[in-house]
Amino acid sequence: MALSSSVCVYCGSRDGDDPAFAALAEATGALIAANGWRLVYGAGDVGLMGRVARATQAAGGATMGVIPQHLLDWEVGKRDLDTFVVTETMHERKKVMVMNAQAIVVLPGGAGSLDEFFEVLTWRQLGLHDKPIFVVNQGSYWDPLVALLDHVVAHGFAGAETRGYVTVVTGVTALEDALRRALS
């Protein structure tokens, strides 16, 4: 299948406490490959990041990893990717990832995933991109994040359009359907 689009995936550099998170990461990698999309991600070979990449590769998909020099050893940079980019800073990493994708997907993760999510959401709010942002709320993991976004809008610190920039889906099937609609 010819490469049609790239999907940026933000997720944890750890597996988390629920085996369903690992299964979600692997299913996400497989669906990216099955649809002929390229995975763009943080180039780690650990946690959910590594699982997404290995699943994409195992299913024959294309991969692009972007990692800052200072994390290369810590996150065990996955060097067998189709494209492997080493940046100087975290900010540069995030910019390269977003600029090389047509959609953003947020799987379970920690502070780094939240940082990436809020930066890409802010960039969307400021009109720096118009790419769809999907939050995969596996097992209600992101319920507090969704509630926070609603809280910010309800208290007038963001307009309703900001909340509208984020599509929350509950699993891999819903994610695939949403991505297909967005990338067609």
Task: Give residue-wise pLDDT tens across range 89-122.
Answer: 999 999 999 999 999 999 999 999 999 999 999 9
Q: What pLDDT shows up at residue 95?
A: 97
Sign of the dihedral through C-alpha 49, 147, 31, 130: negative
Size of the chain, expressed as the number of residues it contains: 184
Task: Tell me the average pLDDT across 111-139.
Answer: 97
Tell which wins on pLDDT, 92 or 184. Answer: 92
Percent of the chain with pLDDT over 70: 98
Q: What is the residue whose two structure tokens read 């990216």?
A: 32
Q: What pLDDT shows up at residue 76?
A: 77
Percent of the chain with pLDDT over 90: 92
Query: Does some domain include residue 92?
Result: yes
Q: How many domains is the chain partitioned into structurally?
A: 1
Query: Residue 48 pLDDT > 70, yes or no?
Result: yes
Which of 38, 17, 8, 2 lies closest to 138 in space, CA to CA?
Answer: 17
Burial group, residue 3, by CB count within 10 angstroms (0-12, 13-18, 19+): exposed
Query: Does some domain include residue 36?
Result: yes
SS (H, E, C) 87-139: ECCHHHHHHHHHHCCCEEEECCCCHHHHHHHHHHHHHHHCCCCCCCEEEECHH
What tokens appear for 4 in the block?
A: 């049609």
Query: Does some domain include residue 1?
Result: no
Supply the CATH number for residue 22's domain: 3.40.50.450
Please, what is the average pLDDT of the chain?
A: 95
Q: What pLDDT shows up at residue 38?
A: 98
Domain enclosing residue 153, as ranges: 6-183
Query: Does some domain include residue 49?
Result: yes
Q: What pLDDT shows up at residue 2?
A: 47
Task: Tell me the average pLDDT across 148-169.
Answer: 97
What's the CA gap between 104 and 98, in Å, rounded? 8
Furthest-apart CA atoms within the chain: distance in Å: 47
Query: Residue 1 pLDDT > 50, yes or no?
Result: no
Query: Does some domain include residue 172?
Result: yes
What is the pairing mode between strands 83-87 and 62-68?
A: parallel
Which of 29, 111, 96, 106 lies closest to 62 in space, CA to CA?
Answer: 29
What's the CA gap between 171 and 184, in Å, rounded? 20
Query: Does some domain include residue 87?
Result: yes
Query: Does some domain include residue 140?
Result: yes
What's the CA gap between 12 and 163, in Å, rounded? 23
> Amino acid letter at 150?
D
What tokens appear for 105 in the block?
A: 């997907």
3-class DSSP assignment, residue 108: coil
**Cβ atoms within 10 Å, residue 65:** 26
Q: What pLDDT shows up at residue 72?
A: 80
The pLDDT tens digits of the residues spanning 57-98 come to 999 999 999 999 988 877 678 989 999 999 999 999 999 999
Query: Does some domain include residue 10?
Result: yes
